[in-house]
Every structure is written in C-alpha cells, then in structure tokens.
Amino acid sequence: MKPPTCSSIYLLFVLIPTVISHNYSDALKKSILFFEGQRSGYLPREQRMTWRRDSALNDGQNLNADLVGGYYDAGDNVKFHFPMAFSATMLAWSAVDFGSYMSPADLRENLVALRWGTDYLLKTVSHLRNLIFVHVGEVEKDHQCWQRPEDMGTPRTAYAVETQYPASDLAGEITAAFAAASIAFKRYDPSYAQRLLKNALTTFKYANSHRGSYTNNTLVKLAVCPFYCSVNGYGDELLWGAAWLRRATSKASYIKYLVDNRHSLGADFNYYEFGWDNKVGGVNVLVAKEAFEKNVPEIAPYRDTAEQMMCAYFPETAGPHMTYTPGGLLYKPGSNILQNTVALSFLLLTYAGYLSKSSQQLHCGSVKIHPESLRHLAKRQVDYILGDNPMKMSYMIGYGNHYPRKIHHRGASSPSIATHPKAIKCLEGWNIFASPKPDPNILVGAVVGGSNVDDKFVGGRKNASETEPTTYINAPFVGLLAYFNANKKISMIGRLSFVKQKQIVYIRA
C-alpha cells in the first residue's frame, strides 16, 4: 500500500495500535521519587532514598531567617528559588491536570513532593514586608568543591531583595506556585490550600506593584548570574502569576489584568518557549483553557497565540517551526536539552486535552490536526527519553538497564554516610569526580540533560550538560508519565520519523 502523504497524516485518522514498550507506571513512580534525592534540610522518617541524610541545617542564619528545607535544583548544593518555584508550579500543574490519571499512591507522593517545595517557598516570602529571599549558597565557592550535601563546608549565605525594590519575576513565579498548589491541595487539605492562596495574593500584589527583575539588583545579580539570570524579563511571570490566580479564584479581575497587560508584558513575544525562565508559552496555553471551556472572547488572542505555537510543532504547517534531531527529539538550544523537550511536550499534551474536551481540532491554515497527533508527538518525546533513541539509552536514572552510571551530581557520585561516615573535604571530592567508577548511589528517577542535537551522548561527570539532572526537568515529566500510564492503548497515525528536521516520513507502526 502506498504510504499516505504528509498532509493526509494529519487529516486522515488511521487507527493502528501502539506497541506498548515502556513501563510508564514504573517511570512515573521513579520520576516522583527523584525529588527525595534533592531534598535539603531535615529528612523525614519516611524518606525512601535512604543514602541521603540531613543537610544545610543552618540556612538563613546570616539574615536571621529560617531557610532550612527546600530542594537543591541540580547536581550542586545551592538552592535557587526561581527554578525551585517553577518546579513547584509544574508539580502542581501535573497534579491539577493529570492527577486523575494517577493512582492514589502516586498522587499522594506527588503532593508530598510538591508540599516539600511549597512549605519552603512560604518561608521565602515570610518576611515580605521587608525581604523576599532569592537563594542560599555561594555559587562560585560551592562549585570549587565536590562534596555531598551532608558534608558542605562552603558558606551558606542567604541572599534577599529588600521589598522596596522589585523582584517581579521571582515573586510572580512564587505566586504561580502557590496558586497552582492551592488548587492541587484544595480537595485534600483545604486549610493548607487557603494558606497558599492567601500568600499567592500578597506575593502577587508585591510583584505587580514593584515591577522589575530580581537580577537587576546588583548584589543578587553577582550571586545568581550567569546561572539563573532572568534573561526573559519579568513580564511573563506577572502574566503567569495572574493566570494561575484566575484559575484558582475564578475572579474576573484577573481576566481584565490578562487582557489589559497582554501586549505590554509580552504574551505575544517569544512564545515558542517554555521553561524556568520563559513562561510565555505556558501562559498562552493556560489561558487558552478559558477560551475553550468558558468562551471568554476577551482572551481569544491568548488562544490564537497558543495555536500558533502548537502548529509550530508540525513541520508541514506554514510559519516558524520547532526543531527536531534526526532521531525525533524536540530540540531547543540550551545548557540542558531535555528541560526544553519535557516542558514543551507538557504543553503539547495539555493543549491536546483542551482540543479533545471541546471536540475540536488544531487549525493550521489549510491543515487540520487531530488532538491525537499532538499526543503522539508528546509520547514520542517521552519514549525517546526512556530509551527509544539512537543511543538506546534511558535518560532516566534507574529506569531500564542502560542508563548513565556517572552523572554530574555530588550526592550520587559520593559514598553515603552509611558506607563512609568520615566527612569528605572540599578538594578531596574531586578525586571522586575524576573516578572512572560508577556512582555508588542511584539517584532513581532523575532525568539528566540528555543527548545533543545529533542524538549523540558522551556522558561522564565532566559533561554536565548531558549528565546533570534538575528538578525542573522532572516536574513536568510527572504529568506526561501519568497520562501515558493511564492511556497505554491509544491509537496512532503510524509512527512519525523526523528526518532532516522538517521532513516527515510515514513508516509502519
């Protein structure tokens, strides 16, 4: 039989059963478990990743504050509140939109991971009349050492912005985290949900009334940049915070805010991006939900922009396009490729849900795309990460048999206190870093940076862009895995193989 043309792939819905090749349930559980390996502070008795122990128990003392807890964002021992807040927002969004696909046990663990983050973030705004806390730890000194968190001898300096000055991006993301989490907890812990929402409202008031970026503060900029500078500005976080407050409260005032500030705060600028720095793609998709479900005409431009973004995923449509590796990975340049892949795939799957619930298709000029096509593309990304890639490598640690064994992570690469009670000194740790031996501790569920634009993966602790995990990769991955675990036997329009970035070839399922 002659293969269908590229355009007919989108227009003719051929039902072919997907081959179930991955244990999404296992991957989901492990993706959530990863967060236990990133915990800072006093660890609870029910800690399952037992090679970790208490760490950083004096954080915040230099500012007379309690900043014990939270998450280390990646493979070092610094706590950056901007990406931590984004991770919390995405764990919450995973629970809100995909929690119904999780088992009660998985949803519980997801909410536990979320609360570990939001409990800490509440501390960062606890002095909001005077300060908003930005991060803990001196990055350069931390990076001069290779130490497990339990042995840290580097300064734990806490940094803050005085609230007479702006930090709209940080405060806007914390607003989003609180508002989204308030929805996630509303059914299970109403009083905690109310506390989160109350703090979201006060944090947003500060963010909006003192407009500007937190990295415009000279001291903060020196401490945070170039690691988590707010390159995209603060406008997207203000819209992001307002969008989540609208969803949490249903108040019309937030619709007005989104309409009045859409252009000035950049909702139609750089909207093909989504991640810890740029929230524009997420804003447009999140607000588009209202246009689908409640037919609010004033916010139609958000949906229009979201549709343009969705069309860009498909190379046969007109206009700008996303980029794919020869092996089919959704690729955006950056220090960590999979952070972009996972976040953008989350939006793809979310928007597919909006289309399905409203019995609509994606309209890209003359091309109509069924929502299942969006799901299959998102699934392709998930499967690539789990091992369906040219390297046959699982980029989730502890999933499958072939995954990176030497990752850029201080805790995983160092012997645990149980096996090596003596403290590992700063420079002594570099012998561990250089060791050819595999990590003694398995950071189960961690999704590392992944392959490069040519689908190649070199690996090794020195190759941080490929082997360093982050909380903001795993957080949206939770939602993706929850959906595909519950929808294993979905139909598909063949398998799409991406060749030379823009050409789609139909091959047999």
pLDDT in tens, 43-87: 999 999 999 999 999 999 999 999 999 999 999 999 999 999 999
pLDDT at 507 over 80: no
Say what the pLDDT of residue 494 is: 34
- Amino acid letter, residue 126: S
Work out the pLDDT band at 509, boundaries 50, 70, 90: very low
Say what the pLDDT of residue 219 is: 87
| Token pair listed for 179 | 């508002």
pLDDT in tens, 261-287: 999 998 888 889 999 999 999 999 999
pLDDT at 501 over 50: no
- Amino acid letter, residue 238: L
- Secondary structure in 3-state letters for 282-341: HHHHHHHHHHHHCCCHHHHHHHHHHHHHHHHCCCCCCCCCCEECCCCCEECCCCCHHHHH
Task: Give CA–CA dist 457/71, Å, rounded.
Answer: 27
Residue 228 exposure: Cα atoms within 13 Å on the Cβ side: 25
Average pLDDT of every residue of the chain: 91
* Lowest mean pLDDT, pick from 245-259, 331-345, 408-422: 331-345
At a CB cut-off of 8 Å and minimum separation 6, what does 163 contact?
128, 129, 130, 131, 132, 206, 210
Angle at CA of residue 349, ends 190 and 231, nearest 5°: 80
For the chain, the helix, strand and coil percentages under 3-state DSSP, each to the nearest 5: 50, 10, 45
pLDDT at 96 over 80: yes
pLDDT at 140 over 70: yes
Say what the pLDDT of residue 488 is: 78
Work out the pLDDT band at 21, boundaries 50, 70, 90: confident
pLDDT in tens, 142-161: 999 999 999 999 999 999 99
At a CB cut-off of 8 Å and minimum separation 6, what does 403 contact?
393, 394, 395, 396, 397
At a CB cut-off of 8 Å and minimum separation 6, what does 286 contact?
240, 243, 244, 247
Q: Residue 133 gets which letter from DSSP?
A: E
Q: Residue 416 gets which letter from DSSP?
A: P
Say what the pLDDT of residue 270 is: 84
Say what the pLDDT of residue 296 is: 86
Say what the pLDDT of residue 1 is: 37
Burial annotation 414-440 (CB, 10 A radius, 16+ → b, else e):
bbbbeeeeeebebeebeebeeeeeebe
Secondary structure class of 343 (helix, strand, coil)? helix
Which domains are seen in the chain, by residue range?
A: 24-488 (1.50.10.10)
Work out the pLDDT band at 490, boundaries 50, 70, 90: low
Secondary structure class of 208 (helix, strand, coil)? helix
Phi, psi angle pair for 2, to nearest 5°: -70, 130
Residue closest to 228 by CA, chosen among 420, 471, 503: 471
What's the whole-model pTM score? 0.93
Say what the pLDDT of residue 462 is: 97
pLDDT at 500 over 50: no
At a CB cut-off of 8 Å and minimum separation 6, what does 44 contact?
none
Task: Give CA–CA dist 421/404, Å, rounded.
Answer: 26
Phi, psi angle pair for 137, to nearest 5°: 115, 145
* Number of C-beta neighbours around residue 319 at 10 A: 9
pLDDT at 485 over 90: yes
Secondary structure class of 434 (helix, strand, coil)? helix
pLDDT at 6 over 70: no
Q: Which residue has the tokens 């509140």?
A: 81
Secondary structure class of 71 (helix, strand, coil)? strand
The whole-number average pLDDT for the span 308-337 is: 92
Say what the pLDDT of residue 489 is: 62
Q: Residue 123 gets which letter from DSSP?
A: H
Q: Which residue has the tokens 């029910």?
A: 46
Q: Residue 64 gets which letter from DSSP?
A: T
Q: Which residues are catalytic?
A: 408
| Token pair listed for 127 | 């002095």
| Token pair listed for 315 | 């190379």
pLDDT in tens, 327-357: 999 998 877 899 999 999 999 999 999 999 9
pLDDT at 326 over 70: yes
| Token pair listed for 304 | 């229009």
pLDDT at 502 over 50: no
Task: Give CA–CA dist 14/132, Å, rounded.
Answer: 54
| Token pair listed for 393 | 């490598």
The neighbouring-strand residues paired with 132 are 161
Say what the pLDDT of residue 444 is: 98
For residues 335 and 393, the model is more confident at 393
* Cα of 460 vs its chain's centroid, Å: 23
Phi-psi region of 56 (alpha: psi -120 to 50; beta: other; left: phi over 0): left
pLDDT at 17 over 80: no
Task: Give CA–CA dist 491/493, Å, rounded.
Answer: 7
pLDDT at 492 over 50: no
Virtual CA dihedral for 145, 150, 155, 158, nearest 10 degrees? 130
Residue closest to 89 by CA, chosen among 206, 249, 248: 248
Say what the pLDDT of residue 50 is: 97
Say what the pLDDT of residue 359 is: 95
pLDDT in tens, 191-204: 999 999 999 999 99
